[in-house]
Amino acid sequence: IGRAVTLEVVQRGFTVAATTRRLDALEALARLASGPGRVVAHVGDVRDAGRMAEIVDSIERLHGPIALAFLNAGAAAYTQPGRLDPEAVEDIYGVNVFGVANALGPLLDRMTPRGSGQIAVNASLAGYRALPRAAIYGSSKAALIHLVEALRFDAEPRGVRLQIVNPGFVSTPMTDRNDFPMPFLMEADVAARLICDGMLRGDREIAFPRRLAMPMKAMRLLPRWLYDPVIRRLLRQRRKG
């Protein structure tokens, strides 16, 4: 998703300071990009808080104030029935929650004093409510949703817009490993256009596809005594299928 969003943003004329752990991946991304914008590389691991602070400082020193940040790093792990791997929890939260916080903190430190800036955090529809096998991944995304919504109370009056991106299933190497049905699976370039459109509109939440997002939103309103039997029934149907 990050690669597709980068390519889309470059086509729209922006300079993108892209970050990942490998320089060769960033160089390959820069070669793919075409349009009036460009890609500049800043190598780093989101799990390294010090390095992320250095990257934010370097971007602003070399390229000027960051107008829009898309915090997209993510990893997934699915639980097996009756089991929970503490190391998997640490690994997934280390990327999905602490990795985002490691970038979000320095960005807010820069944007808040100047009273301008925009930060979009990529979470997931899986963060709306508990789903089978998604105890680790879903709860990490729920944490991001809560984090962004809570920070808005202080950030928005100070001129910093916070957005949450809640995609459904997007075709990526991560979803290629999934061994369960993925309704309304979409290509990454389609998702990227929806994300960029929402970011430029300033939407508080960018949730898609609508055919999945709307039922998931509705399920958040169901009481526990009704929600649990619905999910169990869907599980039984999937096992029979």
The distance from CA 11 to its chain's CA centroid, rounded to whole angstroms, is 21
Q: Is 170 helix (H, G, I), strand (E, B) or coil?
A: strand
How open is the CA angle 211-216-218, to the nearest 5 degrees? 105
- Residue 158: DSSP 8-state: G
Are 119 and 160 a contacting pair, CB within 8 Å? yes
- Find all residues with CB under 8 Å of 214, minimum gap 6, and list them: none
- φ/ψ bin of 184: left (φ > 0), alpha (ψ from -120 to 50), beta (otherwise): left
- Residue 128: DSSP 8-state: S
Choosing from 78, 93, 128, 137, the catalytic residue is 137
Q: Is 128 annotated in the active site? A: no
The catalytic residue positions are 137
